[in-house]
Amino acid sequence: MTARILDGKALGTKLRARLGARIAGLGFKPGLRVVRVGEDPASGVYVRNKDRAALEAGFDSATLHLPEATSEAMLLAEIARLNADPAVDGILVQLPLPGHIRAEAAIAAVDPAKDVDGFHPLNAGRLAAGQKGLVPCTPRGVMHLLAEAGVVLPGARALVLGRSQIVGRPMAQLLLGADCTVTIAHSRTRDLPGECRRAEILIAAAGRAEMVRGDWISPGAVVIDVGINRLADGRLGGDVAFQEVVVHAAAISPVPGGVGPMTIACLLENTLEAAVARRGLVAGWRKAPR
């Protein structure tokens, strides 16, 4: 068996085009502001990609780049200003922040209605409670990839490898909301290969290069690789040993070109959703996960 490759680049392009068409019919440009503090080099690339994708799809997008020396109080004041600006529908505080600023304080300062990263505790709580809210972009992108793969979710055994606030936990909540039987594995899990072998859907988000091996995969499983790791030879790679797994799985997302482009597309999806909900245009545009 050779797995079907789930092309996140193509799917992300399709989703962004759909969002662009929807914006064209709105009569206004949803506003996205990305707040970057300091000079983390990877953040520079991410922020530029987000800005470009947003502008191309017809959003009013801009990056607020604050100096490394910005104090926490100054950052919170900027966030408060964006919260109060009626033209701003979505606010994203790019992580990591410099060490003297508490990420939790910045995340909690964002108006939950504009929290397009879905990291605010209120949105995290809503997701856990099965209520409508803004959902973190990466797990949301994974759900799109699973839909594209034609996976029947109700009753499926899903394993999420990783329990972070930004990927693993919300991922598990979304799968649970879609009626999967969900296991969350993490750094203290005993017999990780055995847990993985039971999974029909495996979402790898541990941040460990190629840790998921071919003989961890149940034949015909669908494997989504969230990891982004710099490999010894300088290339980017995922958490899954692609060449080993591709011969066992039914479908697999590559790195790069899998989850990454879907994350950006879902940031835009969240921004449009926030704009529509804030402005009272279409109530309940998206159904809440159960």
> Which letter does DSSP use for residue 250 in this model?
S
What amino acid is encoded at 186 in this protein?
Answer: H
Active-site annotation holder among 50, 60, 114, 115? 50
Confirm whether 50 is a catalytic residue.
Answer: yes
Question: How big is the chain by its Cα radius of gyration, in Å?
Answer: 19
Binding of ligand NAD at residue 270 (CB under 6 A)? Answer: no
Contact between 174 and ligand NAD per CB under 6 A = no
Tell me the residue number closest to ligand NAD, measured at CB.
Answer: 164
- Of residues 198, 207, 206, 196, the one with CA closest to residue 244: 196
Q: Which part of the chain contacts ligand NAD (CB under 6 A), choosing from 16-24, 121-129, 162-170, 266-274?
A: 162-170
The answer to whether residue 94 is catalytic is yes
CB of 257 to ligand NAD, least distance (A): 10
Calculate the alpha carbon distances from 157 to 132, 188, 221, 222 in Å.
24, 20, 10, 11
By CB under 6 A, the residues from 191 to 210 that bind ligand NAD are 192, 205-208
Q: Taking CB under 6 A as the rule, does residue 265 contact ligand NAD? A: no
Catalytic residue of the set 60, 94, 114, 225 = 94
Q: Is there binding between residue 34 and ligand NAD (CB under 6 A)? A: no
Residue 139 CA to residue 144 CA, distance in Å, equals: 9
- Does 162 engage in binding with ligand NAD (CB under 6 A)? yes
CA distances from 281 to 30, 87, 132, 186, 273 (A): 12, 15, 16, 41, 10
Query: Is 237 an interacting residue with respect to ligand NAD (CB under 6 A)?
Result: no
Closest CB to ligand NAD among residues 16, 163: 163
Q: How far is the CB of 207 from ligand NAD (least distance, A)?
A: 3
Region of 75-83, 84-92, 102-110, 257-265 interacting with ligand NAD (CB under 6 A): 257-265
Beta carbons of 271 and 116 less than 8 angstroms apart: yes
Residues 6+ positions from 68 with CB-CB distance below 8 Å? 37, 38, 39, 98
Backbone torsion region of residue 154, taken as left when φ is above 0, otherwise alpha when ψ lies between -120 and 50, otherwise beta: beta
User: Do residues 190 and 164 lie in contact, with contact meaning Cβ atoms separated by under 8 Å?
Assistant: no
- Supply 59's token pair: 């959003």
Does residue 226 bind ligand NAD (CB under 6 A)?
Answer: yes
Our finding on whether 166 is near ligand NAD (CB under 6 A) is yes
Q: Which is nearer to ligand NAD, 226 or 251 (CB)?
A: 226
Q: How far is the CB of 227 from ligand NAD (least distance, A)?
A: 4
187 is a site residue for ligand NAD (CB under 6 A): yes
Q: How far is Cα 22 from Cα 282, in angstroms, rounded to an integer?
A: 12
Calculate the alpha carbon distances from 57 to 24, 69, 170, 204, 267 in Å.
9, 33, 26, 29, 12
Return the residue of 31, 38, 260, 289 that touches ligand NAD, per CB under 6 A.
Answer: 260
Q: Could you give the CA distance from residue 91 to residue 192 in angstroms, rounded to a whole number?
A: 37
- The yes-or-no answer on residue 243 being catalytic is no
**168 scored as a contact of ligand NAD (CB under 6 A):** yes
Q: Which stretch binds ligand NAD (CB under 6 A): 31-39, 65-73, 187-195, 268-276?
A: 187-195
Which residues are known catalytic residues?
50, 94, 117
Which residues contribute to the site for ligand NAD (CB under 6 A)? 138, 161-164, 166-168, 185-187, 189, 192, 205-208, 226-229, 259-260, 263
